């Protein structure tokens, strides 16, 4: 691939990101996380909080319950199974939402887990284990 082809692809990417930002689908440039928040809010009728880097939660429901949303996207070279979350996030949120996309951006898993049920692994990571999937099946 030559430099001209690379720049053309990168410019297309920039145009796509700018369009997604104008339409409020992504907010920070973290495409997977922002798109995950957008989809979760749409599917679960949640409202994103005003500050995209709010401490501890990303959205609220009509009853005032708080949701921390974590999104992952599987690729041919990466199958997500863990994600970072810290105790301060879990202490201010009611639910942890895990959304996973396949390589074509289809939702393949959407879990709603009560924050008080989360067991932290080493290094402040939550592991999407088979046990967790069975206890909180996908709510698609």
Q: What's the pLDDT tens digit per position in 86-122? A: 777 777 899 999 999 998 999 998 999 998 887 666 5
18 belongs to a structural domain? no
pLDDT score of 123 more than 60: no
Task: Look at residue 89 and tell me if it is in a domain.
Answer: yes
- CATH code of the domain in which 130 resides: 3.40.1350
Share of the chain above pLDDT 90, in %: 52
* pLDDT confidence bin for 39, thresholds 50/70/90: very high
For residue 53, pLDDT beyond 60: no
In a domain, 99, yes or no: yes
The CA distances from residue 27 to 32, 83, 87, in Å, are 11, 20, 24
In a domain, 37, yes or no: yes
**How many folded domains does the chain comprise?**
1
Judged by DSSP in three states, 127 sits in strand
How many CB atoms neighbour CB 27 within 10 A?
16
Give the domain extent around 86: 30-135
Within a domain: residue 4? no
Question: Has residue 81 got a pLDDT over 70?
Answer: no
DSSP annotation of 53 reads: T
Beta-carbon neighbour count of residue 61 at 10 Å?
15
pLDDT at 28 over 90: no
Q: Band of the pLDDT at 79, cuts 50, 70, 90?
A: low
Position 130 in a domain = yes
Structural domain includes residue 56: yes
Distance between CA atoms of 128 and 97, rounded to whole angstroms? 11
pTM of the model: 0.85
Task: Kindly state whether residue 47 falls inside one of the protein's structural domains.
Answer: yes
């Amino acid at each position: 691939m030559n430099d001209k082809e690379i720049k053309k692809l990168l410019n297309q990417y920039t145009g796509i990101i700018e369009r997604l930002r104008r339409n409020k689908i992504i907010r920070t440039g973290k495409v997977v996380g922002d798109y995950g928040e957008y989809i979760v809010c749409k599917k679960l009728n949640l409202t994103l909080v005003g500050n995209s880097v709010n401490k501890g939660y990303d959205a609220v429901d009509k009853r005032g319950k708080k949701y921390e949303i974590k999104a992952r996207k599987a690729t041919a070279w990466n199958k997500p199974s863990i994600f970072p979350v810290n105790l301060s996030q879990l202490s201010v949120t009611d639910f942890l939402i895990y959304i996973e996309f396949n390589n074509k951006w289809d939702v393949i898993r959407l879990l709603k887990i009560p924050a008080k049920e989360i067991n932290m692994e080493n290094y402040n990571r939550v592991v999407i284990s088979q046990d967790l999937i069975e206890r909180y099946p996908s709510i698609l």
